[in-house]
Structure 1
Amino acid sequence: MGSRTQLLGLFLAMMTLNIIYMQGQQSLNAPDPSVSPEEVTPAPSLSPTVSPATGSR
């Protein structure tokens, strides 16, 4: 019972950290007018591949 609650808490912590990280990435990428669209597009394609890897650990 205790291990299940610990696992759930860790999962919730990982989810909140992931959401905060994604919001931080969006806020960092969005207000940058000097960056060309070609340089901005790789960022969304990279983030989905990184987030499942951290979640599966």
Structure 2
Amino acid sequence: MSDPEDEGSRRGALAGLLVAVVMLAVGLWLAHDLTAASKLQDCVMSGRTNCNVIEPAR
């Protein structure tokens, strides 16, 4: 019914898709982290001393 060659092709495609999704997630995390670090550095370089982010109490 299904060729073994088709099954291997699907596995390769799924593996490639998984790698692409993982790379996208890591890239987004890294971009978010670098943006936060850049904002903190800009705040410190402007001479302010209250650059820490304060989370509201829940």
Among all aligned residue pairs of Structure 1 and Structure 2, give the percentage whose two residues are the same amino acid.
21
Structure with higher RCO (Cα < 8 A, 6+ apart): 1
TM-score, length-scaled by structure 2: 0.57
Taking the TM superposition and a 5 Å limit, the aligned residue runs for 1:37-52 are: 37-38=53-54
Could you list the runs of 4 or more consecutive aligned residues of structure 1 that deviate by over 4 angstroms after TM superposition?
none
Instruction: Give 5+ residue unaligned stretches, structure 2.
Output: 1-7, 44-50
Tell me what 1:29 maps to: 36
Larger of the two Rg values belongs to structure: 2
Which of the pair is proportionally richer in helix?
1
Number of residue pairs aligned between Structure 1 and Structure 2: 39
